[in-house]
Amino acid sequence: MSDSKKSDVRVVPLLPLREIIVFPNMVLPLFVGREKSINALEEAMGADKEIVLSAQKKAKTNDPTPDDIFSVGTVAVIDQLFQLPDGTVKVLVRGKERVEIKDYVENDSFLQVKVASIAEKVDPEKDIDAIMKLVRETFDTYVNLNKRIPPEMLSLVAKIESPGRLADTIVAQLALKLRDKQDILENDDAASRLERLDSLMKEEIEILQVERKIRSRVKKQMEKSQKDFYEGQSGGKDLTENEFKNEIDELEERISQKELTEEAEERLARELKKLKMMSPMSAEATVVRNYIDWVLSLPWGDLTEDRLNIKEAHETLESDHYGLAKPKERILEYLSVQSLVDTPRGPILCFVGPPGVGKTSLGRSIATATNRQFVRISLGGVRDEAEIRGHRRTYIGALPGKIIQSLRKAGSSNPVFLFDEVDKMSTDFRGDPSSALLEVLDPEQNATFNDHYLDLDYDLSKVMFICTANNLHGIPAPLQDRMEIIQIPGYTDYEKLQISRNYLIPKQLENNGISDVEVSFTSSAISRVINQYTREAGVRSLEREIGSVCRKIAREVVENGKDQKFKVDTKAIPKHLGPPKFSHGKIEESDHIGMTNGMAWTQFGGVMLVSEVSVMAGKGKFIITGKLGDVMQESAQAAMSYVRSRALNLGLTADFHQKVDIHVHFPEGALPKDGPSAGITMATSIVSALTNTPVKHDVAMTGEITLRGRVLPIGGLKEKVMAAHRGGIKTVIIPSENTKDIRDIPKSIRKKLEIIAVEHMDEVLTHALRLDNPEAFAAQLSKPLLPPDVRQEEGKVVH
């Protein structure tokens, strides 16, 4: 080869390439990211725009040396160069001529080489025209087999007269190995290159022909398999009209045997007539068949027989749930009416209460007690009206709504239907599901409920609908108006104790495989778990804690055998469950000035709430802290206004508030508190702090205060009194209008507490403050209110 090389040597920047060979007359874009390569491009752009392109022997080499780069490459001209945002460079190069790298010039910034051009030659003993014709024909065959090469290349190749350029143009289009392309680049004999190209293309053509044969054979095999499958499905022949006719006959027989409404019979007759006129393989025929099947699968007029034995139903309800007297009583009333009336309407009840009190499980118990099927639909997060009423048949994949689907699943038209979490529904562009429920839950309308998919009236009047919710705020008023709301309050400690003994402990003993082991829980141990390890209105956490104790016992049984007795008492609870998680309020051991025991209701039950007041010399600031809500802050203002209006009766000067700062605080400041029921508690603490009179430490109170001192009723009395009893309170002061709620408090607790009903704040102070002479104090408070401008110089509160 050396004889054919020119003697001129020049210095040119070098750009090493990965997995790419650039031939003369070849134009292509390159993406350059290595620092030395970018520097080489910049050097070339500053000179004559020429750069040597030579491939690396190994593509993974990041910093190639002269030994890593082929010695023959191509000098290319840079036509365009772009700097990309990520720091890389896009360059468009055009191959110019073959060169041989003679030597490397030392340069730290980029690779620079001395190159000499390689002269083109043609062997005169070979018939170059015949070789070029043969190569064109072979290339034509290759292009017809390889669809990745555009057909326009054939016309381009036909116009090339130079044998060297013909070889370089064709080789650039072939998917050859890097070594094969480099061998062709290093070959300076055009005839030899063309012969080598012809050989390589014929090898590729053989491979492409084999691939085409394999694809053709696989396609035929798949078509044959599909044909065999369909023939097997149709008994050795294509789907015929006879089979379609048999299917229609079967549908006609089902329609004749099914008890349907007149409207449904007419609709099915029309749909069946339409089906007979359709092709069995058409998409519309499938839609019609699905519709007919849905209508026939519904329990039109199929009813289960109710259990009308009130005693048996009552025993079933009592065996599943403790307490919950109001919902149980309502179900028994319905069964009583049903035994007297031929066609009673199904009740529509809504159980509202905190999580874990048994709302959902009570629905299942009602189904068992009434001998009905049970269907549950969770509405939490439902935001599409079609979930309730279905999609119209015009939509692809349309189905009936959840109600019709559930009735089909239940197999009867009078199941117990539970809409769970009805307050968690949402609304978006697809509609309002709560509005769709208005028809379902309206006794005057649900006898003709119309699902969008069926487009038929379906009678839901015999269904017993039960809804559950945690609160009424998330239920629209029109929907509330259609339901009978039954409040299910949180369980008291006594009720939780009974539920644990009768339900939770036996269940957990069985679940943990120790029902045949002698395990006993003391009442004090269960109470400790309730008070110190759970804080909830229901019993879910309580059941988990009891289950945790049972698992510890199960491990001991496995390790030491079943021949032992396990007694779980108060001392064993921390051993099994660790240190207490919660602390319930306990009363102070002595009387304090400015500190009053209040009672509050939370979703987890009742709690003790202490009101503290401190009086300091100041300029009349009234400070309220403890993360209190707006209502509670306004209640504190009302309490302060009452005290100011009674200043003279309490032995205070009329302008006392201008000389002192009063700070009202509720401990546990991280917990939000709100509501008006702490009004009399704050008023008592303020009076105690201003008059320097202690408050009885064993007295707790609840009630809203007005500016005139009236004590207004509050809610959650049962839970509040239970919390007071748990905290060691002896006397409870409540509004007189709440006396009707005292009957809800268990008798065992009522016997241990003195419950005082009051109408006015003056009575509260008389009972709550530690007075030497209560009668005289009461008489002083009962004096008529004096005008604000009157000063009482000698008036002193009587102790």
| Predicted local confidence at residue 791, as pLDDT | 42
For the cut 80, the answer to whether the pLDDT of residue 583 exceeds it is no
For the cut 90, the answer to whether the pLDDT of residue 349 exceeds it is no
Q: Does 354 or 701 have the greater pLDDT score?
A: 701
Mean pLDDT of 167-194: 86
Q: Report the DSSP pairing between strands 348-352 and 484-487.
A: parallel
| Predicted local confidence at residue 361, as pLDDT | 87
- Residue 452 near residue 391 (C-beta atoms within 8 A): yes
Q: pLDDT tens for residues 307-348?
A: 778 888 888 888 888 878 888 888 888 888 877 876 667 678
Q: Which residues make beta-bridge pairs with 12?
A: 113
Q: 466-479: string of b/e by CB count within 10 Å (b at 16+)?
A: bbbbbeeeebeeeb
Across the chain, mean pLDDT equals: 85
| Predicted local confidence at residue 796, as pLDDT | 44
DSSP count for the chain of H helices, then E strands: 27, 26
Q: pLDDT tens for residues 768-788?
A: 999 888 888 888 887 776 555
Mean pLDDT of 517-545: 89
Closest CA to 202 of 228, 176, 164: 176
Q: pLDDT tens for residues 118-148?
A: 888 877 778 888 888 898 888 888 888 887 8
CA distance 93 to 500: 84
Mean pLDDT of 259-270: 89
- Residue 600 near residue 677 (C-beta atoms within 8 A): yes
| Predicted local confidence at residue 792, as pLDDT | 45
Q: pLDDT tens for residues 294-306?
A: 999 999 988 888 8
* CB under 8 A, 24+ apart: contacts of 271-277: 272/248, 275/248, 275/251, 276/248
Q: pLDDT tens for residues 77-88?
A: 999 998 888 888
- Residue 302 near residue 410 (C-beta atoms within 8 A): no
CA distance 787 to 780: 16
Percent of the chain surpassing pLDDT 90: 29
- Residue 537 near residue 493 (C-beta atoms within 8 A): no
Helices 190-233, 128-145: axis angle to 10 degrees equals: 20
Burial of 415: CB neighbours in 10 Å, binned 0-12, 13-18, 19+: buried
For the cut 90, the answer to whether the pLDDT of residue 637 exceeds it is yes
CA distance 75 to 99: 7
| Predicted local confidence at residue 3, as pLDDT | 41
For the cut 80, the answer to whether the pLDDT of residue 447 exceeds it is yes
Q: Does 266 or 228 have the greater pLDDT score?
A: 266
Q: Which residues, including other chains, have CB under 8 Å from residue 146's CB and lie 6 or more apart? A: 204, 208
| Predicted local confidence at residue 496, as pLDDT | 87
Percent of the chain surpassing pLDDT 70: 93
What distances in angstroms separate CA 646 from CA 8, 157, 685, one per listed residue? 118, 112, 15
The count of other CB atoms within 10 Å of the CB of residue 359 is 26
| Of the listed ranges 80-94, 359-373, 572-586, 658-672, the one predicted with least confidence | 572-586
- Residue 76 near residue 93 (C-beta atoms within 8 A): yes
| Of the listed ranges 84-98, 138-152, 282-296, 546-560, the one predicted with least confidence | 138-152
Residue type, 244: F
Q: Which residues are annotated as catalytic? A: 677, 720
| Predicted local confidence at residue 233, as pLDDT | 53
What distances in angstroms separate CA 629 from CA 611, 634, 683, 711, 723, one per listed residue? 15, 9, 17, 20, 22
What are the E-state strand segments in 680-783? Answer: 694-695, 699-701, 704-705, 711-712, 731-735, 754-758
CA distance 463 to 345: 8
| Predicted local confidence at residue 6, as pLDDT | 43
Global confidence as pTM: 0.59
500: DSSP letter: I
Q: 308-324: string of b/e by CB count within 10 Å (b at 16+)?
A: eeeeebbebbeebbbbb
Run of H or E including 115: strand 112-118
Run of H or E including 314: helix 310-320
Mean pLDDT of 726-747: 90
| Predicted local confidence at residue 52, as pLDDT | 93
CA distance 338 to 345: 9
3-class secondary-structure state, position 59: coil
Q: 482-491: string of b/e by CB count within 10 Å (b at 16+)?
A: bbeebebbbb
What distances in angstroms separate CA 782 from CA 144, 647, 760, 765, one per listed residue? 114, 13, 11, 12
| Of the listed ranges 320-334, 441-455, 751-765, the one predicted with least confidence | 320-334
CA distance 421 to 419: 7
3-class secondary-structure state, position 677: coil
| Predicted local confidence at residue 343, as pLDDT | 66
HSE toward the beta carbon, residue 230, CA cutoff 13 A: 10
Q: Which residues, including other chains, have CB under 8 Å from residue 95's CB and lie 6 or more apart? A: 22, 23, 24, 25, 26, 27, 53, 74, 75, 76, 168
| Of the listed ranges 238-247, 396-405, 452-461, 513-522, the one predicted with least confidence | 238-247
As a dihedral over the C-alpha atoms of residue 523, residue 524, residue 526, residue 529, rounded to 10 degrees, the angle is 170
| Predicted local confidence at residue 128, as pLDDT | 85
Mean pLDDT of 599-626: 88
Torsion-angle region of 513 (φ positive above 0: left; ψ -120 to 50: alpha; else: beta)? left
Q: pLDDT-derived band of residue 696, with 50, 70 and 90 as boundaries? A: very high
Could you identify the residue written with the tokens 């309002």?
A: 432
Q: Which residues, including other chains, have CB under 8 Å from residue 485's CB and lie 6 or more apart? A: 350, 352, 472
| Of the listed ranges 216-220, 288-292, 415-419, 503-507, the one predicted with least confidence | 216-220
Q: Which residues, including other chains, have CB under 8 Å from residue 132's CB and lie 6 or more apart? A: 163, 166, 194
CA distance 153 to 137: 13
HSE toward the beta carbon, residue 581, CA cutoff 13 A: 13
For the cut 90, the answer to whether the pLDDT of residue 285 exceeds it is no
Closest CA to 440 of 419, 454, 426: 419
